[in-house]
Homo-oligomer: A and B are copies of this chain.
């Protein structure tokens, strides 16, 4: 991660990243398809964890609540492990700084949304509702994550995600209204 910040993601070579990690480039490519993938290492495990959460949720639980609960372990990890939290913040800065990383992030986000939606469907939620619960739950989670990143008071990520979920309720109920035109 240091190398992605200085000299910078676009300047560092795979040979440098591999050497930094004590690997040969050949071993590097056995683990990662390209230097983008290093930043997304572990996202498959996160996806599996979230799906597992949905598959084991209690019958009768509202679908959106199930999605929120299934995503909670990610926020919990950031709240309880400062090293992980610091990594998450730095990783976010690096991704935001490069178009091709933002693009990969969008792809991973879409893949997670699709996995959540599929899991909800297999729990009997109809297709359109499953997709809406996945997309809105993830949107609230992302808003909470971004607020957590920017919070000068350093409140926990779970608190920010809960707040974003409440905000989602206000938006959909229609209690967030437009102000005057410019």
Binding site for B on A (CB under 8 A): 55-66, 102-103, 106-107, 110, 120, 122-126, 128-129, 131-133, 135-136, 139-140, 142-143, 147, 164, 167-182
Contact = CB atoms under 8 A, between A and B. Distances in A.
Contacts of A59: 177-181
Given A179-B59, A180-B124, A136 B168 contact: yes
Nearest to A139: B135
B65 A174 contact: yes
Contacts of A142: 135
A15 to B, nearest CB: 27
B65 A122 contact: no
Among all A-B residue pairs, the 6 with the closest Cβ atoms: A124-B179, A62-B174, A135-B139, A172-B172, A106-B106, A129-B176
Contacts of A64: 171-172, 174, 176
A139 B128 contact: no
